[in-house]
């Protein structure tokens, strides 16, 4: 169904999958996941679109540089893959979890290239709201930003630590065979550090995006913002965040869904994406 490829960008080597043909749609995953989170969405999208789903820098089966986990740099990787390697000049863009702020970085840097943008169950650092961590409710944000300690405590216990998220962050647990695939990539050398580095870059992300907001810039393309309504889902926070950053925002909540939207409610998400992308 999907074709696997690798792109050597110099400082990082990205693994990616492609499927289908037509106008391109780029799918950006989050933590602690990989391109694999889109497996239920890709077939339906591929009937109408050329789907491109990379593993982000340091995650999945991509390489794990020591630096570059601010979302401006991660977004630059995505742009180099899609534009420079694959020769795509215009595309739709969908981001979930850390893929959302990465997608925002791409769209802000290349507003003429991103036709439509969808952000799933995440808010954007530096959007003008006080705190993306819900005032500390998302306890793991601060834990992951602590240097070295998370790696020391989680190494060898990935099934316990990551398993808590896979089994509690949604309205229902992820399937055990799917958890096994995520554990496969997050047990690889350097994967823990790379994943936590996405959180350690939050202050840089806030500063980068606040600078864009201070210039008065708002995303010009239509934006779809969706949050899960159960468990650790972001609910209406996603819409509220993007309305501070874009001129044309639609969306709301996906029912019976926590954080793992592409896996918990793939049929409903696909329906909304197809209606939005046209």
Query: pLDDT tens across 170-194, in order?
Result: 999 999 999 999 999 999 999 999 9
What is the band of 111 on the pLDDT scale with cuts at 50, 70, 90? very high
- One of 36, 69, 199, 205 is an active-site residue; which one? 199
Give yes or no: 15 in active site. no
Give yes or no: 6 in active site. no
Query: pLDDT tens across 12-47, in order?
Result: 999 999 999 999 999 999 999 999 999 999 999 999
250 sits in which H/E element:
strand 249-254
CA atoms within 13 Å, Cβ hemisphere of 185 = 24
Q: Which of 105, 110, 119, 71 shows the shortest CA–CA distance to 90?
A: 110
Total domains in the fold of the chain: 1
88: Cβ–Cβ under 8 A, 6 or more apart, which residues?
24, 52, 82
Q: What is the mean pLDDT of residues 68-91?
A: 98
Domain containing residue 47: 3-277
Query: pLDDT tens across 217-231, in order?
Result: 999 999 999 999 999
Percent of the chain with pLDDT over 90: 96
Is the C-alpha dihedral spanning 101, 103, 105, 107 positive or negative?
A: negative
CA atoms within 13 Å, Cβ hemisphere of 196 = 21
The pTM assigned to this predicted structure is 0.97
- One of 55, 70, 97, 121 is an active-site residue; which one? 97
The pLDDT of residue 133 is: 84
Give yes or no: 199 in active site. yes
Q: Which domain CATH number covers 165?
A: 3.40.50.1820
Whether the CB-CB separation of 235 and 228 falls below 8 Å is answered with yes
């Amino acid at each position: 169904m999907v074709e696997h490829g690798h792109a050597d960008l110099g400082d990082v080597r990205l693994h990616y999958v492609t499927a289908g043909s037509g106008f391109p749609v780029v799918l950006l995953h989050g933590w602690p996941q990989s391109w694999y989170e889109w497996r239920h969405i890709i077939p339906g999208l591929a009937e109408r679109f050329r789907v491109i789903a990379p593993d982000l820098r340091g995650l999945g089966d991509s390489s794990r540089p020591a630096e570059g986990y601010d979302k401006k740099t991660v977004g630059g990787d995505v742009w180099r893959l899609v534009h420079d390697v694959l020769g795509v000049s215009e595309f739709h863009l969908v981001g979930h979890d850390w893929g959302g702020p990465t997608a925002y970085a791409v769209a802000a840097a290349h507003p003429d290239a991103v036709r439509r943008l969808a952000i799933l169950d995440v808010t954007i650092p530096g959007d003008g709201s006080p705190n993306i961590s819900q005032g500390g409710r998302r306890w793991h944000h601060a834990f992951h930003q602590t240097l070295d300690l998370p790696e020391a405590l989680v190494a060898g216990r990935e099934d316990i630590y990551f398993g808590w998220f896979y089994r509690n962050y949604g309205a229902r647990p992820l399937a055990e065979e799917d958890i096994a695939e995520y554990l496969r990539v997050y047990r690889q050398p350097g994967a823990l550090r790379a994943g936590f580095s996405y959180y350690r870059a939050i202050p840089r992300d806030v500063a980068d995006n606040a600078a864009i907001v201070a210039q008065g810039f708002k995303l010009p393309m239509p934006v779809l913002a969706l949050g899960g309504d159960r468990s650790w889902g972001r609910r209406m926070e996603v819409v509220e965040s993007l309305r501070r950053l874009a001129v044309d925002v639609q969306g709301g909540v996906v029912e019976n869904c926590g954080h793992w939207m592409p896996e918990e409610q793939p049929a409903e998400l696909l329906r909304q994406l197809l209606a939005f992308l046209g």
